[in-house]
Structure 1
Amino acid sequence: WRAHPETLQDSLTGVLRLNDEELVKFLQDVLDALFAMFSNEEGNSTQHSGLVFHVLVSIFSLLQSNKFQHFRPVMNEYIENHFAAALVYKGLITSVEHMAVFMTKAEHPDPFQKCFGSLEYIFKLLIQSRRLFARATGGQYEDSFRRDLHSLFTALNGMLAVPSYDVIIPTQEALLNSTGVVLEQLKDTLPAPELGMLARNMLDAIPRGAPNRLIQAKLQAVKDLVSGELFHEDDSRTVVLSVACKHLRMHLSRRDELRLCAEILSEILTQLYELQREQRDKVTNTLQHDLDSLCKNILGILIRTISIIMEGSHAVLPPLVACLLGLLQLLDETHYKRYWDELTPNKDPRDLKDFLSKSLLVYEELLTQDWLVFPTDWLIMKLAANDVMRKSLEEFAKPLVYRFLGPHAFDSQLWWSYFSLAVTFLTQPSLQLEQYREPKRLKILHSHGDMRVLMGFQILSMWSQLGEQKLHFIPSMVGPFLEVTLVPEPALRKATLSVFYDMMQCEQAARGSFRLVESELIDKLDLLISENKGDDEYRELFSTM
């Protein structure tokens, strides 16, 4: 082509007509020739740069197809070890920017779709080109390169902000599908905060009322980001998590695209769980901060969303509940404490009360339905879910005591909800270990212990905290406490018996007799015995009262 430049246009057009297999067979030679044509010795474009770029994009698009997936390593090897065009990065940036700007004016969208669907290779090449140039010049024009990159992303954002219509939606989708991998290519080129800003601006560029296809592509881009390399490194993970949380909150609050939201959240939780497991006793401050951020941004809205969609039979409810449990599992006492502080700005408890009320309501519903969100034979999952719930209830108990117990802050409804839920937890079918054969029962006891006993003592601990407020629950708590005594654990039964004496003493001191407690106790005991609840030891225990 150098000997006969007048035939260059025909040669380039001929490349497009080449048999796919032939093209791939001589891939390295073809690419070397194309990059030599793409710019002159000063790195400036030539009269053929546009057509060369078109041919390059066609080749990259071909390599992205399923038919040639196995050639990806060959292409990566070429870029890393054989590609030598140190001056083409400017032209590649300019070409992509040109495509973004003129997308809406295109009569034929196919070349544009191919271009934005091939951004992975384009960015790999332009970054490698820039590296080669920097190596040769000692890093000259770095600021100019960054400005060019930011200018390119501004054009890409503008392309996403264009009101969508049928012709351009596939091109916008192609760009969003490439977003995650493009930003990953830049992780060694731009600092994490800049990458985060680029990601945020790009995703924010999509109008709120965009078509569903574009919203789904946006959320898929978020999913790609949280499942990619950027999420593995502390600096960039924090930035990506912030972007992801913003869009998750938006869609959870609108209750749209919940399936994708659950997938994104599941990916985030899986990654953070793995990180937490790797770090074990040496959890980094960054990971703690990320967990705080996730808790602050997602826990409340997730609970609210679940509480709303629980009213119908929503197919996405099980994955959202699984995400809730996964999030709770990652949190420790310090995360909860910071979250309680977050919910009580200026010591105003309304948001905290709202969160606790909704959480207890969601928990109650899950338990009342015996974890119907999971298949009935998923006993291990139910046990794991119960373990997570029980531990979270221990944490929920703390703000109840510290913020909703004082004479001017007492909230009897919140406390009643807690006691009611705790008893529902304790009496749920899946925790009644007596129904299982001994090998299974022993296995459950070994892995989880008897969670009824643990919850029973938690209830007693909460009762002991009430002090003068106990009268609010006399005699209404007699029935629930009798349910606690059904658990065949002698220590728990005896401890619960002391509560009935305590109730009698409280009523005696306040009202001069304990007739209400006595009457309620007799009525509820008769009911339990008539329903054939309680074992022989149980009956014997109460006969001594």
Structure 2
Amino acid sequence: DTSVQEEVEMMVESLLDVLLQTLLSIMSKSQSQEAVRGQRCPQCTAEITGEYVSCLLSLLRQMTDIHFQHLMENFQSKEELKEFLLKILCVFRNLMKLSIFPRDWNIMRLLTSNIILTTAQYLSPALHKNFTEAEFDFKVWNSYFSLAVLYINQPSLQLENLSPAKRKKVLDKYGDMRVMMTYELFSMWQNLGENKIHFIPGMIGPFLGVTLVPQVEVRNIMIPIFHDMMDWEQRKNGNFKQVEAELIDKLDSLVSEGKGDENYRELFGLLTQLFGPYPSLLEKIEQETWRETGISFVTSVTRLMERLLDYRDCMKGDETENKKIGCTVNLLNFYKSEINKEEMLAGKGCWEIPQAIACSTPMDPEAHFLQS
């Protein structure tokens, strides 16, 4: 209906920016008040915010590709467009971080996720078209990637936690929205071209967190990005030491938080297949050297996964003290011999490494096991 479309367009022009600005203001106050107890009831703030959020979501839901196209065309400058993108991406991120809706409002959460996904799909071409290559803008791209990472990791989208019946209902109505957003993220990453280097190593941790989502397709899409990161750092620095160090450190932290599983270990091992003959990627770097270095690194990371998972399972289970010490020694030996991160032998708090092992003679951790 033409009249309805025109009314929606009029509402977009008059209300969208006002809603975004209002929500940002309320959300900012809500976040600051969380740090100062007693100033205001958080539930009241959530209720007020919820009304504006509902208005925003309803408006976005009514918008078609034509409305989004007109919206993008109406900005007088790229600075205005940038400001709008930063606003809406920030609001979306806050929607996933703040408790806007009651815990049992799962249908509303799924609808919100669907609207955010659709809106992101409409906005990403404008981001790519206006802020890539010579006019690259780190802040906007970083905001987009941060949103995508938060989105994919949302508790409400982790379908593995639902009963088979509920999971089927969600999949029938929306599909797996994590997979759809992951495709968007990967596509936008590919669009970055040479500007990928600006997100190395900063995005390694967030992207690694996405690959730890227990969804095979999400992992298959995301893991090749790490090959891409290695390649770009290799081009720039002649090695990929930053990627290597960050990947190992973040993997350690994430697995210690309970993420990762046996399937992930196997899937990460598939990275070795990516180090085939890619002369177009290697440019001036000797192909065989790069390939061997890459395979060696991925093999080390896969072995690290094995030891981290073994250590975690061992500490959780009813294993004997000797077996627990053995797992610890294996992990410490790995850091010493393969990763060469001797500073980690002093112990990482998140792993609760036994003090006697962590603090004494790190140069020969096997001695502790033998002495016990």
TM-score scaled to structure 2, two decimals? 0.67
* Pairing of 1:156-305 with structure 2 (within 5 A): 283-284=1-2, 286-305=3-22
Task: Report what 2:100 is aligned to.
Answer: 373
Name the aligned partner's letter for residue 487 of structure 1.
V
Aligned residue for 1:373, secondary structure, equals: coil
Task: Report what 2:267 is aligned to.
Answer: 541
Task: Report what 2:54 is aligned to.
Answer: 322
Shift of 1:323: 0.6
Q: Does 1:457 align with 2:174?
A: no
Name the aligned partner's letter for residue 9 of structure 2.
D
Contact 1:367 1:425 survives alignment (8 Å) = yes
Shift of 1:298: 0.8
Q: Kindly indicate whether structure 1 or structure 2 has the higher relative contact order, using CA contacts under 8 Å at least 6 residues apart.
A: 2
Q: Does 1:482 align with 2:208?
A: yes
Shift of 1:354: 1.1
Shift of 1:402: 0.8
Contact 1:453 1:487 survives alignment (8 Å) = no
Task: Report what 1:384 is aligned to.
Answer: 111
Task: Report what 1:519 is aligned to.
Answer: 245
Aligned residue for 2:263, secondary structure, equals: helix
Task: Report what 1:229 is aligned to.
Answer: none
Name the aligned partner's letter for residue 60 of structure 2.
L
**Superimposed CA distance per residue, residues 268-297 of structure 1 (whole angstroms, 9 cap, x where no aligned partner):** xxxxxxxxxxxxxxx32x322222111111
Q: Does 1:336 align with 2:68?
A: yes
TM-score scaled to structure 1, two decimals? 0.46
Q: Does 1:405 align with 2:132?
A: yes
Contact 1:360 1:418 survives alignment (8 Å) = yes
Contact 2:57 2:115 survives alignment (8 Å) = yes
Contact 2:178 2:218 survives alignment (8 Å) = no
Contact 1:452 1:487 survives alignment (8 Å) = no
Task: Report what 1:307 is aligned to.
Answer: 24
> Which of 326, 332, 352 is the matching residue for 2:81?
352
* Pairing of 1:487-498 with structure 2 (within 5 A): 487-498=213-224
Name the aligned partner's letter for residue 333 of structure 1.
D
Aligned residue for 1:316, secondary structure, equals: helix
| In structure 2, C-alpha distance between the alignment counterparts of 1:541 and 1:336, rounded to whole Å | 38
Name the aligned partner's letter for residue 168 of structure 2.
L
Contact 2:20 2:88 survives alignment (8 Å) = yes
| In structure 1, C-alpha distance between the alignment counterparts of 2:177 and 2:218, rounded to whole Å | 12
**Aligned-CA RMSD value:** 1.4
| In structure 1, C-alpha distance between the alignment counterparts of 2:256 and 2:267, rounded to whole Å | 16
Name the aligned partner's letter for residue 501 of structure 1.
H
Q: Does 1:441 align with 2:167?
A: yes
Contact 2:133 2:195 survives alignment (8 Å) = no
Shift of 1:306: 0.8
Name the aligned partner's letter for residue 384 of structure 1.
L
| In structure 1, C-alpha distance between the alignment counterparts of 2:124 and 2:262, rounded to whole Å | 34
Name the aligned partner's letter for residue 116 of structure 2.
M
